[in-house]
């Protein structure tokens, strides 16, 4: 891999108050960019001062959403060092998303170096307040400045980073989730398993409607039968029913979450039976009515492990775990965040120290 050229910002920004962060609002001093041209491959890997991009108004990304992104975090440990959680999982998933959206693969060493070198340069921005971290947003965009619907021959891989606290204003208090029955987010064969902007654009209307009703996010049903539970806007979901853990299987329209993967591993380590399978909304509500639904939670990089205290479908509402965080949800939160912030042993080798 060629050397990354670094141009430092002449003036450094004032850092925000890390006790009161708004998710994704305060970008650091620098960003990473590499260009791709068909026939030439990836070139000009560089870190430059954070600034607006100059993009041709006809660029494919602006019209046909030729873009994919990732999300991971850098954590400040008690001894002041900085570490990443499973970054290669993000790099590999990024390339799977690229494949689906006809973007070029980013070589793994370049993809990882863009992340690690930017975090190293802006390491002063990794906050140390409780439950804060540096959120890392790598993304790839298609830039060909022509309006024909074709894959781009000029693309960029960019990484930006920002200090963040809790994603939800609720913090670790249970969130309220609304089951969306009108709009669908994704179907098998579509782009649901890719982390691409279009999926999120498709979710915005339902998200706003749910917020107006007082809900935090929507829970998507499958796009074909409109019956089976898929995932929440920014997280995968898990349920504890009659002592077992249930989570929707990776059916092609659900994101293969890295937090999901990690929670399944921890749950199995602790002896829980984990069923990855189709779960209908009806099955879930039936379990809630009979008292078998013991806990519900979401998993995601931004959302970490978020207890779900209420589920609503149409006029029917069910309260989960007395609207309190359940014991398994709490244990998952404690152990996962313990590993991420370096307070707990890392038996699966998930941590990369910087």
CB 166 → ligand COI: shortest distance, Å? 12
For ligand PLP, what does the binding mask look like between residues 301 and 340, x meaning CB under 6 A?
x---------------------------------------
Q: Which stretch binds ligand PLP (CB under 6 A): 118-126, 148-156, 299-307, 328-336?
A: 299-307
Nearer to ligand PLP, 154 or 197 (CB): 197
- Is residue 161 within 8 A of residue 134, CB to CB? The reply is yes
Closest distance between ligand PLP and the C-beta of residue 193, in Å?
Answer: 10
Buried b (16+ CB within 10 A) or exposed e, 320-351: bbeeebbebbbebbebbbebbbbeeeeeeebb
Contacts of 218 (CB under 8 A, 6+ apart): 177, 178, 179, 180, 203, 206, 207, 210, 232, 233
Under the binding rule (CB under 6 A), the answer on residue 302 touching ligand COI is yes
Min CB(195)–ligand COI separation in Å: 7
Select the residue interacting with ligand PLP from 66, 95, 236, 321 (CB under 6 A). 236
Q: What stretches of 256-349 adopt beta strand conformation (E)?
A: 274-276, 293-300, 304-313, 316-319
* Residue whose CB is less far from ligand COI, 287 or 332: 332
Going by their DSSP bridges, the two strands 30-37 and 41-49 should be labelled as antiparallel
Smallest distance, Å, CB 71 to ligand COI?
Answer: 2
One symbol per residue from 238 to 257: x for binding ligand PLP (CB under 6 A), - otherwise; what is it? -----------------x-x
**Among 34-42, 110-118, 227-235, 283-291, which window interacts with ligand PLP (CB under 6 A)?**
227-235
Nearer to ligand COI, 28 or 301 (CB): 301
**Contact between 92 and 60 (Cβ < 8 Å):** no
The β-bridge partners of 179 are 219
Please answer whether residues 165 and 303 qualify as being in contact, where contact means their C-beta atoms are separated by less than 8 angstroms: no
How far is Cα 218 from Cα 313, in angstroms, rounded to an integer? 10
Q: What are the residues binding ligand PLP (CB under 6 A)?
A: 71, 231, 234-236, 255, 257-260, 299-301
Q: What are the residues binding ligand COI (CB under 6 A)?
A: 71, 234, 300-302
């Amino acid at each position: 891999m060629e050397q990354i050229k670094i141009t430092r910002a002449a003036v450094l920004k004032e850092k925000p108050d890390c006790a009161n962060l708004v998710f994704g609002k305060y970008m650091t001093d620098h960003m990473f960019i590499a260009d791709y041209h068909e026939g030439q491959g990836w070139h000009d890997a560089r870190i430059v001062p954070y600034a607006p991009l100059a993009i041709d108004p006809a660029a494919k990304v602006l019209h046909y959403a030729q873009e994919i992104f990732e999300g991971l975090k850098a954590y400040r440990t008690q001894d002041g060092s900085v570490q990443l959680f499973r970054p290669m999982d993000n790099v590999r998933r990024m390339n799977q998303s690229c494949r689906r959206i006809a973007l070029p693969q980013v070589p793994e060493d370049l993809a990882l170096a863009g992340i690690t070198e930017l975090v190293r340069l802006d390491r002063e921005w990794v906050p140390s307040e409780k439950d804060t971290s540096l959120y890392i947003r790598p993304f790839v965009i298609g830039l060909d400045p022509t309006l024909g619907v074709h894959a781009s021959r000029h693309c960029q891989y960019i990484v930006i980073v920002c200090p963040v606290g809790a994603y939800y204003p609720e913090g670790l208090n249970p969130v309220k989730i609304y089951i969306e029955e009108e709009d669908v987010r994704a179907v098998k064969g579509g782009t649901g398993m890719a982390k691409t902007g279009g999926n999120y654009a498709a979710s915005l209307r339902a998200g706003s409607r749910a917020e107006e009703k007082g809900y935090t996010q929507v829970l998507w049903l499958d796009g074909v039968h409109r019956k089976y539970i898929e995932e929440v806007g920014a997280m995968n979901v898990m349920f504890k029913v009659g002592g077992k853990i249930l989570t929707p299987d990776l059916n092609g329209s659900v994101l293969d979450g890295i937090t999901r993967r990690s929670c399944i591993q921890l749950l199995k380590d602790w002896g829980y039976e984990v069923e990855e399978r189709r779960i209908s909304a009806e099955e879930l509500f039936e379990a809630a009515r009979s008292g078998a639904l013991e806990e519900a939670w979401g998993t995601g990089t931004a959302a970490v492990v978020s207890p779900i205290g209420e589920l609503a479908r149409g006029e029917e509402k069910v309260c989960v775990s007395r609207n309190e965080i359940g014991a398994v949800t709490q244990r998952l939160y404690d152990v996962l965040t313990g590993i991420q912030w370096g307070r707990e042993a890392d038996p699966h080798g998930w941590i990369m120290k910087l």
